[in-house]
Amino acid sequence: MTTYTGNEPSNISYTAVADITGGREGHADSHEPDLSLDLDTPKAMGGKGQGTNPEQLFAIGWGACFQGAMGLAGKELRVPATKLAQSRVRTHISLGDQGESFGIKALIEVCLPGVDRDLATRLVERTQELCPYSKATAGNVPTEVVVVDNLD
C-alpha cells in the first residue's frame, strides 16, 4: 500500500466517488449526482472510440477547474467579472509512450476577449498557481498554458 502525505487541504468540502470496471474498455459510475459512462480506448490508440476515455475526462475536469480558479485570480487582479464571463478555456491532454508505460502532457489555451494581453498573461499565470488541478500536476505533468486571441 502506498500513501502520499503531502500538503493536504485543511478542510474537505467535497469528495467525488467513482466506481470503474473494465478499465479503458469498461464502465464508470459516479455518485451524487449520478453519472454513468461507457469507457473506450480512442481510435488513435487502437480502440473502437465508442465511449469516453480518461484523457477526455481529465481535460474536462482540469479545464472547468482552471476556469473557476480564474474567477479567484480575476478578483485579485481586478479583472471585471463581465470580462471573465466571456472567457473560454480549451484543454488538451495528450497521452504517449513514456519509458515502459505511458505519460501525459497538457496544453491549456485561454481566450479572454476584451482583456489586454499583459493583464491576460498575469491572470493566467496567477490562475495556474491557484487551480487545484494545476497544483496537483505541477512538476509531474509537462504543461503549457497560453493566452490565445480566439479558439475557433
Q: Do both 66 and 137 map to the same domain?
A: yes
The pLDDT of residue 121: 97
Mean pLDDT value across residues 118-136 = 97
User: In this structure, are 105 and 134 located in the same domain?
Assistant: yes
| Angle value at C-alpha 81, between 123 and 68, nearest 5 degrees | 60
Residue type at 47 in one-letter notation: G
Quick one: what percent of the chain has pLDDT higher than 90? Answer: 88
Same domain, 131 and 72: yes
Whether 1 shows a pLDDT value over 90: the answer reads: no
Write the pLDDT tens digit of every residue in 45-76: 999 989 999 999 999 999 999 999 999 999 99
Together in a domain, 75 and 41: no
DSSP string, 53-117: -HHHHHHHHHHHHHHHHHHHHHHHTT--HHHHTT-EEEEEEEEEEETTEEEEEEEEEEE-TTS-H
Average pLDDT of every residue of the chain: 94
For residue 63, give its domain range. 54-148
Tens digits of residue pLDDT in 89-112:
999 999 999 999 999 999 999 999
- The answer to the question of residue 106 being in a domain is yes
Same domain as 134, residue 100: yes
Residue 3 pLDDT grade (very low, low, confident, very high; cuts 50, 70, 90): confident
How many domains does the chain divide into?
Answer: 2
